[in-house]
Each structure stands twice: as C-alpha cells, then as structure tokens.
Amino acid sequence: MRLVPNSLHDEVAATLRDRIFSGELAPGAFLDEVALAEGMKISRTPLREALKVLTAEGLVRHEPRRGCFVNQVTEQDLDDIFPVIALLEGRCAFEAAGNASDADLQALEALHDQLAQHAKAQHINAYYDANFAIHEAIIVLANNRWLAQVIGDLRKIVKLARLQQLHAPGRLGQSLSEHMAVFAALKARDAEGAEAAMRTHLTRQRTALRELARNQKSRLSV
C-alpha cells in the first residue's frame, strides 16, 4: 500500500481553497472527485481528506449519496457572522493598543500607506490584500491564540464577501477612513477607541454588502 504524506491533503485543501476564493469553484458548484483528482494528478484518498478539511471550515458541504458542493453563504449567515467578527476583531484592536511597540506601529504605518495608495488608484484586489495584512497584523499584536483561531475560522467563510463589499459605491474611501480611525486610536494607545473603531469598520462591511445585494436585485427587476 502506498503511503500518502500527511502534508499532501493539506496542499490539496489549500489549492481547492484558493480556487473557491478566486471564484473558479463557484458557490453551489458540485465537486467532481474523479475530475478533480485527475486534474490535480493525485489519488482520491488525499482529495477526500482535503474535502473533509474544507467541510470542517464551512467552505464545502457534504450531502449523503450526492457528494460535495461548494457552500453558499446566505444573507442570514452574514447577518449572524459579521457581528461576531466585529466583537472578536474589536477585542483584538483593544489588546493591540496596549501591546504594540513603536516598531510595530511603524510597520502598521507602512501598511496603511500602501492601503491609501491602492485606494487612490482604485486597485480593489491590491487594496484587499493590504487590508487583509493589516487585520492579520492587529490579530498578531493582540497575542491571543484563541481569538486568532476563532477569527481565522470565521474569516474563511466570509472572505469572498469581505472582498465583494469593496465594490459597493464609495466603499473603498469609506473603508480607508475607517482603517485610519483604527490606526489613529492604536497610535494614541486608546484601547477603547481602537475597539470601537474596529467594530464600526466590520459592521459597515455588512452594511455595504446589503447595499450591493439590494442594487443587484434592483438591476435584475428592471
């Protein structure tokens, strides 16, 4: 019997995760195990293990006798998840305000400079990457592995939504202003202010998504 390296299914999961996030594997899409295994030149054993990982993350759902499908995040899911993320990332900002060194703040300032440049150029994908790096940095500065773990699990589910909300009219500039408010509070070592600003930032992401959904429905009904 050929042994499958423990890391192979992790690599397969990472590849599939990227394809889901890029939209190549669209929400609701059936995941054909035979075709995927052939395309990735692997056996179905590591593929099935990878699908178990993605199912546990909430990116994939398994239906008995039917197989696996890319999960569809509903409006109710977003309503339920965003307030939780806002609370958790708000707490990270609170902790980061007390933990950040001068060197940490300098590194954050450089990231915010990149963020502003991408916003000015209207480069949404590049802005999202810088935005993600800032959130990650604040989570690291909070120095709480339990917060980081729970946030990481939830962010995988709403990653696509957090990118989509940047396409709402005026959202890029609004997001930049919100980030600058969080950063100003961090520089001032204002823990409560940083927490409140971060919670506002996450709450407004959900608001932007609602506006996008309404606009799409309006266009379809015309």
Q: What radius of gyration do the chain's Cα atoms show?
A: 19
Residues in the chain predicted with pLDDT less than 50, given as ranges, are 1-5, 218-222
Tokens 């593929």 belong to 47
Q: Which of 183, 55, 192 is nearest to 109 (CA)?
A: 183
Domains of the chain: 6-70 (1.10.10.10), 75-221 (1.20.120.530)
pLDDT of residue 220: 37
pLDDT of residue 217: 55
Q: Write the pLDDT tens digit of every residue in 195-214.
A: 999 999 999 999 998 888 77
Token pair in block for residue 46? 């590591």
Q: Are strands 30-31 and 60-63 parallel, antiparallel or unpaired?
A: unpaired
pLDDT of residue 73: 81
pLDDT of residue 222: 38
pLDDT of residue 169: 87
**Other Cβ atoms within 10 Å of 114 Cβ, number:** 17
pLDDT of residue 212: 82
pLDDT of residue 211: 85
Tokens 């949404």 belong to 124
Token pair in block for residue 88? 């958790």
pLDDT of residue 6: 56
Residue 90 makes CB contacts below 8 A (sequence gap 6+) with: 195, 196, 198, 199, 202
